[in-house]
Structure 1
Amino acid sequence: MYLIVGLGNPGAKYHNTRHNAGFFVIDKLAEFFKIESFEFENNYLYAVTDHKDSQGDAKQVVLMKPLTYMNLSGKAVKEFYEKYEISKENILIIYDDVNIDLGVLRMRPNGSDGGQNGIKSVMYEMETDEIPRLRFGIKGGEEFEKQRIDDGFSLADYVLSAFEEEEYEVLERSVETAKNAVLSFINSGIADTMNRFNGSTAEVKKPDAKPELKPGTQTDTQPDTQPKNERENNTN
């Protein structure tokens, strides 16, 4: 079993914000796997799909969106981990990184939290930094960054802001590439995926004659349900 977790904040208010990049990738994966809705389970939404990898081996993939708000994301991951006893090396956390330019992805098998409170919570709850992660760059261009500083736009305000219209093309390419990176992680492992996808999404390397995963079938799902949480848990 593989657990793919996209970090973000639930609710329409935060739907298109930079901090929800992880949710964007989960939605793109759900589209790929033809999943139309997610099931509700305490602290998270999830969907399950079965498929065959490039070697013809059947694998089960779970897509998750924590509903705890960003700063408590680890609670949802730990809850699922303890319930299903999944291998930590088969967990992938996808989250936004304000220190990386939009259009750049970084996958790693471990590391520090880099000041991102979502992955920080995951590492705290799981009691390890040995958790594979995919960092999704959300940093704007130099002009936007200068304007942000000149206007006194705080980091918290920035990550909770929407993407600029001129960023949409790069954003869409990044989400699509991140989806493919996740599929590669499941299909070929983290080392090969890092070699192919780490860097600019405009310069992704071609696979070594390995076909991409084919969509699987979803389990029964029910409408998206969201609990009420405090806004204080949703930044950084």
Structure 2
Amino acid sequence: MYVIVGLGNPGRKYENTRHNIGFITIDYLADELGIKVNKLKHKALVGEGRISGQKVLLVKPQTFMNLSGQSVREIVAYYKTELSQLIVIYDDIDIEKGSVRIRKKGSAGTHNGMKSIIYDLGEDSFPRVRIGIGASGGAPLVDHVIGNFTKEEVPLMEKAVQRAAKGVISIVEDGIDMAMNKYNGSD
């Protein structure tokens, strides 16, 4: 079973913020796949379904971003998930706004949610789908990441979410190498 985790912060206050692009992508995937992400288990909202016959669990940790690893660790342990079948979707200030970057493994960079997951799993060898939200442009970082998308950013970010979702589906269907070749970049 694939565990597909979108990172974000719970609550209306954070709903459409840059930092919640992982949650937004999970919601998009859930709609596309007809999966309800509404059960509270392992400190997360989860929903089970299938991608091309392969069982998947869509996950939105409810621990707040900086403690995401607690939820992910519980889920991975409970379902005995191979780390190669854990996919984490999150925002990245270090890549171009609207672009998608799929990787097999890697460091957390400056992302506290990923730092938490890597710390709690004791590993960084799991696939991730990063969605570029761009740099803060001189604004304080926290204001940038928990800020809402501007009107101009919305269409670009909607395309990025769709591209990221297709990348996740491709990881499950075709493997990560094919997904990286096909979906890294932007439209």
Q: TM-score range by the shorter chain?
A: over 0.9
Give the structure-1-normalised TM-score: 0.77
Q: Deviations over 1:57-89 (max 9, x none)?
A: x31010000001000101101001111101110
Matched, 1:154 2:146: no
Aligned residue for 2:68? 73
Task: Show structure 1 runs of 5+ residues with no match.
Answer: 203-236
Distance 1:94 1:101 in 2: 16
Partners of 2:37 and 2:58 within 8 A in 1: no
Matched, 1:26 2:12: no
Give the structure-2-normalised TM-score: 0.96
The offset of 1:168, in angstroms, is 1.1
Distance 1:37 1:104 in 2: 26
Q: 1:198 is matched by which residue type in structure 2? A: N
Q: RMSD across aligned C-alpha pairs, in angstroms?
A: 1.2
Task: Show structure 2 runs of 5+ residues with no match.
Answer: none
The offset of 1:37, in angstroms, is 4.3
Matched, 1:186 2:181: no
Matched, 1:169 2:155: yes
Distance 1:112 1:50 in 2: 29
The percentage of aligned residue pairs carrying the same residue is 42
Partners of 1:123 and 1:131 within 8 A in 2: no
Partners of 2:69 and 2:114 within 8 A in 1: yes
The offset of 1:136, in angstroms, is 0.6
Distance 1:155 1:137 in 2: 14
When residues 168 and 90 of structure 1 are mapped into structure 2, their CA distance, relative to the original with a 3 A threshold, is same
- 1:83 is paired with a residue of what secondary structure? helix
Q: 2:151 is matched by which residue type in structure 1? A: E
Aligned residue for 2:5? 5
Q: 1:84 is matched by which residue type in structure 2? A: Y
Indicate the larger mover: 182-191 or 29-38: 29-38
The offset of 1:33, in angstroms, is 1.2
Partners of 2:36 and 2:48 within 8 A in 1: no
Give the 4+ runs in structure 1 shifted more than 3 A.
none
2:185 aligned to 195, 199, 209, which one? 199
